[in-house]
Structure 1
Amino acid sequence: MLPWTKLATAPIPGGDELRLMRRGDEFSIRLGANELMNSRLGGSEEALATLACKKLDGRSRPRVLIGGLGMGFTLRAALAVFGADAAIEVAELVPEVIDWGRGEMAGLFGDSLSDPRVSLVARDVGELIRDGAGRYDAILLDVDNGPEGLSRKANDRLYDVAGLAATRASLRDGGVLALWSSGPDDDFTRRLRRSGFAVNEVPVRAVGKRGGSRHWIWLAVRS
């Protein structure tokens, strides 16, 4: 088996260091001992976009915020399902991750980063949420391995009561928050409901219909 090769590193503001690894045509982004994403395992990240789109039920000119660029699975799925009239903002905290999408992983991203519907911002997604009252139809979050700050402790503010209140305020009526997780979290589900969301938890597979590890997506609609 081919060994993994480290291609690049990038510091996380207020956190640890990301490592971009490659083995043959396979890519991996890692944080410490954790693999945050792998280029062969994007089915559940794609579902983040497709399930949120279904919740919006054909809403015209949707404005979508994606938190976390990663390997672009969610972005590419959003471009496929939200239609030609969508406006999609992608907030990526680590500028080097954007560079990797245009450089080392350009073959994986294709032309998604140059799509005219896409606005790419090197910024904390929490800041966009707090500044975006009534702006978004959908907010798709995949910045940690679940509703707690793994990549950096400051991300806890996305998932606490105040953070969920800000998210709800940034959504239009009937808008949806979709959040990816490596596992369930009953406390977070209850927190969503107390914050004024109608909530569904959907188990999904890491490689879609081909199976793989089970992940979770919360679909929380502003009711």
Structure 2
Amino acid sequence: MQGRVPSDIREKGTQQMRWQWDEYPSGVHYGAPMDPEPLGRYNDPTGRTGICYTADNAAAAIAESLGRVYQRDPEDFTLGLSDLRKAQMYTLETTRDTRTINMTKLQGMLHITADQTMGNRQDITQAITDWAANTPGLQYDGVSYSSRHYGVGMCTAFWEREGETGPLADVTHSSVYSHVDSNPDNFPQNWQEKDIDGFEIVVETLQFDVSADDS
């Protein structure tokens, strides 16, 4: 089965982005929550394998984090400058060549629709993680999938199995507000500058309103 599952190869040193609401010494965290704690879409339901969620670009990392909160209650969603100064954007990199399952292609092979992998139910995606991460002999490092909130680049659930070292390392981090990025995948339409900062990604690319609550 492994030879037929679509997968993506990332070379050692491939950059990945990760949002954290607070500053920590490292942006690399492989979470393994168990019920009744809430599980992410690609968490291992058995709790044996830890998951670290990343994105190919900063805009996708920001959109995933803010989008989840916004969708819970759009009418009550607020975002201030203090939030962007507190939240951190971590730049990570792969420490070796990695192979991740391409979920966008796999759903076609499984004859399932995007709403089954992106909707409220998460049993299908979690079952795929359980199989791919915990079956002895399978050499996957995670699952790559399309963002629900920003369809440029991919998001990846990298994993760290019991007794092994995960494939991610820190490069640098700064507040989301101060983050500066030259990846054009972060730019809004007709952007004329050579780079963009985190605040501009939030308000220009993703069109979130930000209040000046800490001026």
Q: Larger Cα Rg: Structure 1 or Structure 2?
A: 2
Q: Which has the higher contact order (CA 8 A, sep 6+)?
A: 2
> TM class by shorter-chain length?
under 0.3
**TM-score w.r.t. structure 2 length?**
0.26
